[in-house]
């Protein structure tokens, strides 16, 4: 399994590569719309040559993410009896003391 840092690097690398591929597809489309079909086909050939490696890398990233999620889930289930969840307190507007004191109430003093 990939380390957390390696997984983060692989994610970033896959996103950069995906952005590059998208840009190449847009460029190939522009070439085709300009009537430069030969150049468009060459660009598409370049893209399709790289895609199998990118698809494999993305599959590895997804598999590593699933393994990490399973490990987190197992850890949480294993440790849950020892660390019970304490529900978060929900503030109520009626209990907030954000209002300034009225003239009848003395203001707080500081020593």
User: What's the average pLDDT block by block, 10 residues per block, for the chain (111 residues)?
Assistant: 81 92 93 94 91 91 89 78 73 59 62 56
Q: Does residue 95 fall inside a structural domain? A: no
In this prediction, residue 75 carries a pLDDT of 80
Q: Does residue 25 fall inside a structural domain? A: yes
Q: Does residue 66 fall inside a structural domain? A: yes
Token couple for 29: 């489309």
The count of domains in the chain is 1
In this prediction, residue 86 carries a pLDDT of 75
Q: Does residue 100 fall inside a structural domain? A: no
DSSP assignment, residue 99? S
Cα(86)–Cα(80) distance, rounded to whole angstroms? Answer: 12
In this prediction, residue 37 carries a pLDDT of 94
Range of the domain at 42: 4-76
Q: Does residue 86 fall inside a structural domain? A: no
Cα(70)–Cα(67) distance, rounded to whole angstroms? Answer: 5
Cα(79)–Cα(108) distance, rounded to whole angstroms? Answer: 45
Burial of 32 (0-12, 13-18, 19+ CB in 10 A): middle
Q: Does residue 15 fall inside a structural domain? A: yes
In this prediction, residue 94 carries a pLDDT of 59
Q: Does residue 14 fall inside a structural domain? A: yes
Q: Does residue 97 fall inside a structural domain? A: no
């Amino acid at each position: 399994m990939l380390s957390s840092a390696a997984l983060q690097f692989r994610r970033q690398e896959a996103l950069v590569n995906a952005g590059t591929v998208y840009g190449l597809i847009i460029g190939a489309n522009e070439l085709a719309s300009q009537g430069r079909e030969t150049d468009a086909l060459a660009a598409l050939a370049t893209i399709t040559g790289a895609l199998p490696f990118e698809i494999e890398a993305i599959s590895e990233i997804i598999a590593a993410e699933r393994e990490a999620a399973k490990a987190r889930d197992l850890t949480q289930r294993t440790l849950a009896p020892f660390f019970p969840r304490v529900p978060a307190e929900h503030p109520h507007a009626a209990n907030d003391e954000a209002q300034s004191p009225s003239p009848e109430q003395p203001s707080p003093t500081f020593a």
